[in-house]
């Protein structure tokens, strides 16, 4: 494979991975068993956006709330609309405009009409909007965080709430499922 083609393929793979990557880092507070909780509620979170691309906070809440409810109810937790819930789910959404600039060096596959252009480097740049989603679950009674998830993604080429829904789904991917029966040490010994 010639060097230019290899460069283009690697650039495409890199950009594709960045565009569709929604890896979330999750953390559970030390000593906390999330399976002991049964109920949760969703409260309005924080929205941080630049002035050029404002976000309607009410519309965002109405879009993210059903996704959070669906993901937690699928895992056996019960949604309550009031403050009697054992867990409180909140979020932070931030958008920032970023600029990627990269020098690619001399390509040599273009026609040079002026000798001074023969040694010029080629480069590219792109402006994109990067989004960050942080989900935090707090023990309502203790007012302490028990679980969180954080992820970033390029949201320039996406439309609608599908990205937000997919991000919430990915964030909760490793969240404990109350529907799955957890085997104790005694149950494992009996099976062996």
Q: What is the pLDDT of residue 99?
A: 72
In a domain, 190, yes or no: no
Considering Cα of 76, then 81, then 86, then 91, what sign does the dihedral take? positive
CB 126 within 8 A of CB 99: yes
Global confidence as pTM? 0.69
Residue 138 domain-assigned (yes or no): yes
CB atoms within 10 A of CB 49: 17
Dihedral pair phi/psi, residue 39, rounded to 5°: -125, 155
Residue ranges in the chain modelled with pLDDT below 50: 3-21, 188
Kindly state whether residue 32 falls inside one of the protein's structural domains: yes
Residue 12 lies in a domain: no
Q: 132 and 9 in contact (C-beta within 8 Å)?
A: no
Q: Which tokens hold the place of 156?
A: 């320039």
Tokens of 51: 């002035």
Task: Please indicate, yes or no, if residue 191 is contained in any of the structural domains.
Answer: no
Residue 30 lies in a domain: yes
26, two tokens: 């999750």
The helix (run of H) or strand (run of E) holding residue 189 is helix 185-191
pLDDT at 1: 54
Q: Residue 73 domain-assigned?
A: yes
Number of DSSP helices (H) and strands (E) in the chain, helices first: 4, 7
Per-residue pLDDT at 54:
78
Q: Is residue 34 part of a domain?
A: yes
Domain count, the chain: 1
The residue behind tokens 């699928």 is: 74
Q: What is the pLDDT of residue 157?
A: 56
Range of the domain at 47: 22-178
Domain containing residue 84: CATH number: 3.30.160
Two tokens, residue 109: 């596959």
CA 129 – CA 49 distance, rounded (Å): 10
């Amino acid at each position: 494979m010639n060097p230019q083609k290899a460069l283009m393929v690697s650039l495409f793979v890199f950009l594709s991975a960045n565009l569709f990557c929604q890896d979330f880092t999750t953390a559970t507070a030390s000593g906390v068993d999330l399976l002991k909780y049964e109920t949760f509620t969703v409260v309005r979170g924080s929205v941080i956006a630049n002035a050029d691309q404002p976000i309607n906070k009410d519309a965002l809440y109405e879009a993210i709330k059903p996704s959070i409810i669906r993901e937690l109810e699928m895992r056996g937790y019960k949604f309550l609309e009031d403050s009697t819930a054992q867990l409180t789910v909140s979020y932070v959404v931030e958008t920032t405009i970023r600029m990627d600039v990269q020098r690619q060096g001399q390509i040599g596959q273009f026609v040079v009409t002026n000798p001074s252009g023969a040694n010029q480097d080629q480069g590219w740049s792109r402006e994109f909007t990067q989004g960050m989603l942080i989900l935090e679950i707090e023990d309502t009674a203790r007012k302490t965080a028990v679980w969180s998830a954080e992820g970033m993604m390029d949201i320039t080429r996406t439309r609608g709430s599908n990205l937000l829904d997919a991000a919430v789904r990915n964030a909760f991917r490793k969240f404990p499922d109350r529907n799955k029966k957890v085997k104790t040490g005694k149950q494992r010994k009996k099976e062996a």
